Amino acid sequence: MRRVWSWLFALGLIAFGLLWPLVFTGGSASGPGPVDPVVITDYRADFTVDADGRMTAVETITGDFPGGRHGIFRYWDVANQNNSRLRQIPEITSITMDGSSVPYELLWETGKRFRVAKIGDPGSTLNWGSHVFEIRYTIDGVLDPGRNGAHRQFASNTGNPDARSAFYWNVVAPAWNNTIERADISVTLPAEVIGAGCSVGFGVGSACTELRTDGNTVRLSATNLEPHTPVTLRAGVDIAAPAQVSLPWPYTWDRILGRSVTALAWVALVAVGMGLLAYFWTRTTVEPPPGFPVQYAPPEGLGPVQTEYIRTETIPKNGLSATLFHLAERGLVELRQVSDKHWKIKGLAKPAEWSGVDPVAIDVGAALKVMSVGAEFSAKNTAASGKKLSKAKADMAVAVRKWALDGGFTVRRRKELWIRVANVVAFFAALAGFFLWFGITLWGLPFAVFFLCSLRGWSGGVGTRRTPAGRELWSRAEGFHRLLSTDSAESRFDFAARKDLYLAYGYALTYSGRISGVTEPGEL
């Protein structure tokens, strides 16, 4: 169950890493930024739309600038107000100021919903007074099917706007942070305009000034627009709606999935590939198991920690307790439980009598200083006691690894440790992906998959291999483990009569409850 919860927790973190942009959107839909002190005294926009739905726009902005300003900002909302699956990204053709070219920088804001042109030289400020900016750009896919916005009510109308196609557009964007004293708009469409509706502001709003149609052209004006006040036009055109390039997901998922189905498919393939790479790489670190015939005794001469280590190549969690019980069974120490958190370990044998036990047990006895008659150690809930117990555990771990290497039962295989390096790199790469270093959070997924599928590289035994002698001991130790871990162990070959001899091994192998009928006392 613990493993299940661990996996669920990891998958939950990955899901959060992928989907957090849905929660933290980072701005409003009407346009980011505070009110700009630059007042636009005259805004003229000429929009020309061809039969394929491409719009060519020329915006002429006359602004009254205070001192200390570098330029202006132009925001484009790339999300379509009627179809969240469309992305209408402007392509800048040119930007000029007072008839001359001017430097500008293109940025993204609000999770790549707004394309921003930061216009002006950051190294110099403009003279106080009036300046004229001209922005030329194109946008594809601006002609919608006629049903889009058909039920929208407008404050001013002319003709019948019901047609096969519709130009439905904020001809003055709500993203303008400036006061606009006057806006004059001209829209030329690819066929005759049979009707149009216009509103100033959100909802029905107020009427536009001088809304009129003339053949293929719609003209309108508006005055005294507060910052973030849109002017919306819907004009019906009696031609077939051209195809629009859309995505299967709404714009709110762009920071997660991006804006390309092809790129999404590639990321998915990379994730699968990374998972397979991690799986097969970790498989190369796993030793093929020998046969495990049932054994009715542990390998001769091996203590409980050695037996468990040669079986799993890990230090058993209860190794210190198991070793002390093993020493008590050998008559070398006496264990006495004073309370739930207080044990006393008393030495019963001279140092010479310890020669018959395994080196791991000797290191534990030496660390606790109980290798002489009458020597005593109190294991209780104090800092000094805890420090000595920690040292004993550390010495035990060093001793069992040294025994396996020096005894010729294991050899080092350092190249296997590269899987751990790759696992750490994948972890940090996944974090980088989830924090949008690669543009979209989805790029964190392949690295997260690799990280999860390569976690096995931290298992015991990675970096070492058992020798033939070690594999023979492994076979016998695992066979003994099979005996201890089987519910019918007590019925096997008079095992019940000898189970007390193997109590310490049961603690090391975490199956003491099955062979003794009692649970392990508090950790020593």
Digit-coded pLDDT (tens) for 359-415: 999 999 999 999 999 999 998 888 888 899 999 999 999 999 999 999 999 999 999
Q: What is the pTM for the complete model shown? A: 0.81
Digit-coded pLDDT (tens) for 50-67: 999 999 999 999 999 998
Please tell me whether residue 259 adopts helix, strand or coil conformation.
coil
Looking only at the bridges linking them, the beta strands covering 91-97 and 100-101 are antiparallel
In the chain, % of residues over pLDDT 90: 72
Measured at the CA of 117, the angle between CA 17 and CA 71, to 5 degrees, comes to 130
Q: What are 133's strand-pairing partners?
A: 61, 97
Alpha carbon distance 7, 156 (integer Å): 59
| pLDDT (0 to 100) of residue 500 | 58
Closest CA to 494 of 505, 504, 483: 483
CA dihedral 93, 98, 103, 104 (to 10 degrees): -60
326 near 504, Cβ under 8 Å?
Answer: yes
At residue 338 the predicted structure's pLDDT band, cuts being 50, 70 and 90, is: confident
DSSP H or E stretch at residue 316? none
State whether the Cα torsion 493-497-498-503 is positive or negative: positive
- What tokens were used for 96? 């000029």
At residue 32 the predicted structure's pLDDT band, cuts being 50, 70 and 90, is: low
407 near 398, Cβ under 8 Å?
Answer: no
Digit-coded pLDDT (tens) for 396-407: 999 999 999 999
Closest CA to 199 of 188, 189, 185: 185
| Residues 6+ away with beta carbon under 8 Å from 132 | 60, 61, 62, 63, 97, 98, 99
First-to-final CA distance of the chain: 26
What single DSSP character describes residue 156? E
Alpha carbon distance 420, 201 (integer Å): 59
Alpha carbon distance 167, 241 (integer Å): 10
For the ranges 73-77, 346-350, 494-498, 502-506, which has the lowest average pLDDT? 494-498
CA dihedral 491, 494, 500, 504 (to 10 degrees): -70
Count CA atoms within 13 Å of residue 166 on its CB side.
24
Alpha carbon distance 444, 171 (integer Å): 38
Closest CA to 307 of 466, 477, 512: 477
In the chain, % of residues over pLDDT 70: 93
Mean pLDDT of 332-336: 92
Domain ranges of the chain: 39-249, 261-290+420-462, 291-413+463-516
Alpha carbon distance 471, 481 (integer Å): 15
- Whether 498 has a pLDDT exceeding 60, the answer reads no
- What tokens were used for 249? 């997901």
Digit-coded pLDDT (tens) for 419-462: 999 999 999 999 999 998 998 999 999 999 999 999 999 998 89
Buried b (16+ CB within 10 A) or exposed e, 127-158: eeeebebbbbbbbbbbbbbbebbeebebbbbb
Q: Is 249 exposed, middle or buried (0-12, 13-18, 19+ CB in 10 A)?
A: middle
CATH architecture type of domain 39-249: Sandwich (2.60)
State whether the Cα torsion 244-248-252-254 is positive or negative: negative
Closest CA to 289 of 476, 98, 521, 47: 476
Closest CA to 189 of 169, 147, 157, 218: 218
Digit-coded pLDDT (tens) for 112-139: 889 999 999 999 999 999 999 999 999 9
| pLDDT (0 to 100) of residue 28 | 47
- What tokens were used for 22? 């849905």
- Whether 72 has a pLDDT exceeding 60, the answer reads yes
| pLDDT (0 to 100) of residue 150 | 83
Alpha carbon distance 266, 260 (integer Å): 10
